[in-house]
Structure 1
Amino acid sequence: MKQPSIDLVHLFKYSFQQYKRYTSFVIGIMVTYYVLAIVPQIYYFQYFWGNPSTEAQVISGIITVTQLFLSLGFINVMLRLVDDEHVQVSDMFNNFRNFLSYFVGYFLYMLSIILGLFLFVLPGIFIAVRFMFYPYFILEENQSSFVALQKSYYLSEEMTVELFLFGIVVITLNIVGALLFGIGILFTYPLTTMATAVVFKSLVNETEGIPSEQYQLES
């Protein structure tokens, strides 16, 4: 089957519409994430960076696990908002059942990327692109980390270049958002996470184009 191409204009138009529709809720979720995940990280770097003590290592571990847990919750919320499903702030915190799979998957994913980058860079980029959808399979299908990574690999087959270019756009938008005194990330991170969710759902549904008709605005 011929793989669809990604229409970035329609993709981000739809994502922007969903962001506007749920602006106050999304900003609330982002502020919650920032306070619980980013602020502790800033505190750690300010007071414990380079400290080899047991206390510093324990604090670093707690912060890392907290960030991963909240990241999974954030992805879950954005994944549901693209389909206009009812969500609550609690949906960011009720992902305990999937967290172990996500934690293991994240470890394997990042380790593989790092090793790939050491192997002349390109393997790391390839891995980052082909396995990028593993969190979505964990959330949508309750898959284990290994199965989720495998499914992501096959889902992105023949889409490596398209997804790489999409990833460049996502990274660029979030860098720009971060440079705007960090405030812009309140807009760019939810927007790009929603866009990624739409790409995932369109690929899973084997549509002829991305985004699928379900995620396109009427002209």
Structure 2
Amino acid sequence: MKNISKVGLIKESWVIVKENYKLIYALLIAFILYQFVQSLISAFFENSILSVLISLAFFVITVFLEIGFIKISLKIVDKKAAKFQELWAYPQYLLRMLGATILYSIAILVGLILFIIPGIYLAIRLQFYSYTLLDKDKNIMESLKGSWEMTKGNVINLTLFMFLIFAINFLGALALLVGLLITIPISFIAVTLLYRKLG
């Protein structure tokens, strides 16, 4: 990643967002509405015996939608035609994504318990597991291994990139949260673009 400009990634992502703003903002609106509905239902059943089942259901739905978001973002970055309907067009990946997400979460949790730093390190090294799974049709373990290999030797630069993304979204939040409508799409595309450049 030494030859990849972090600021250049952000600038290129902004150009991509502007070129595909209709689809990207349709996806953002869908995400916001989903989060709103999830919050309402979770709050309504907060003290109910069904709360655990509802949480599990939303976990599955969230992973399912994540598949669509990533597949669409890869097409956008690759300058291929993408449609909003693709958000729910890839059910064949769901079980693998659920398995990989659970393993990723367990690895991060164990790492955080071990004095936090290992958790952060694992989060950085394994962050592209979902991309390798969906982009290269890998199985659960191969997706995690693929991310591990892709990020080898790039931990410091990836950490700096994460701080840059955080800073951009923090500034977006300071702008009465309206700025997040710009910074969130840029951040998502930037991560996808980074994956492509590392790959």
Asked if Structure 1 and Structure 2 have the same fold, meaning a TM-score greater than 0.5 normalized by the shorter chain, the answer is yes
Contact 1:44-1:60 within 8 A present in 2 as well: no
Pairing of 1:13-32 with structure 2 (within 5 A): 13-32=11-30
Contact 2:68-2:90 within 8 A present in 1 as well: yes
Following superposition, the deviation at residue 14 of structure 1 comes to 0.7
Contact 2:111-2:117 within 8 A present in 1 as well: yes
- Partner SS, residue 79 of structure 1: helix
Q: Relative to 1, partners in 2 of residues 1:9 and 1:70: Cα closer, same or farther, differing over 3 Å?
A: same
Q: Could you tell me how far apart the structure 2 residues matched to 1:151 and 1:160 are?
A: 15
Contact 2:2-2:157 within 8 A present in 1 as well: no
Q: Which runs of 5 or more structure 2 residues have no equivalent in the other structure?
A: none
Instruction: Report how many aligned residue pairs link the two structures.
Output: 199
> Of residues 8, 18, 42 in structure 2, which corresponds to 1:10?
8
Following superposition, the deviation at residue 167 of structure 1 comes to 1.4
Q: Relative to 1, partners in 2 of residues 1:181 and 1:56: Cα closer, same or farther, differing over 3 Å?
A: farther
Paired residue for 1:215? Answer: none
Contact 1:29-1:89 within 8 A present in 2 as well: yes
RMSD of Structure 2 on Structure 1 (CA):
1.8
Q: Which runs of 5 or more structure 1 residues have no equivalent in the other structure?
A: 205-219
Alignment partner of 1:42 is 2:39:
yes
Q: Could you tell me how far apart the structure 2 residues matched to 1:171 and 1:48 are?
A: 32
- Partner SS, residue 87 of structure 1: coil
Q: Which amino acid aligns with 1:147?
A: E
- Partner SS, residue 127 of structure 2: coil
Paired residue for 2:157? Answer: 162
Using structure 1 for the length normalisation, give the TM-score.
0.84
Q: Which amino acid aligns with 2:14?
A: F
Contact 2:73-2:192 within 8 A present in 1 as well: yes
Following superposition, the deviation at residue 152 of structure 1 comes to 0.6
- Structure 1 segments of 4 or more deviating over 6 A? none
What does the per-residue CA deviation read over 1:134-175, in whole Å, with 9 as the maximum and x for residues that have no partner?
A: 111111111012100001101110001111111122233334
- Partner SS, residue 6 of structure 1: coil
Q: Relative to 1, partners in 2 of residues 1:92 and 1:60: Cα closer, same or farther, differing over 3 Å?
A: same
> Of residues 54, 62, 70 in structure 2, which corresponds to 1:59?
54
Q: Relative to 1, partners in 2 of residues 1:28 and 1:172: Cα closer, same or farther, differing over 3 Å?
A: same
Paired residue for 1:211? Answer: none
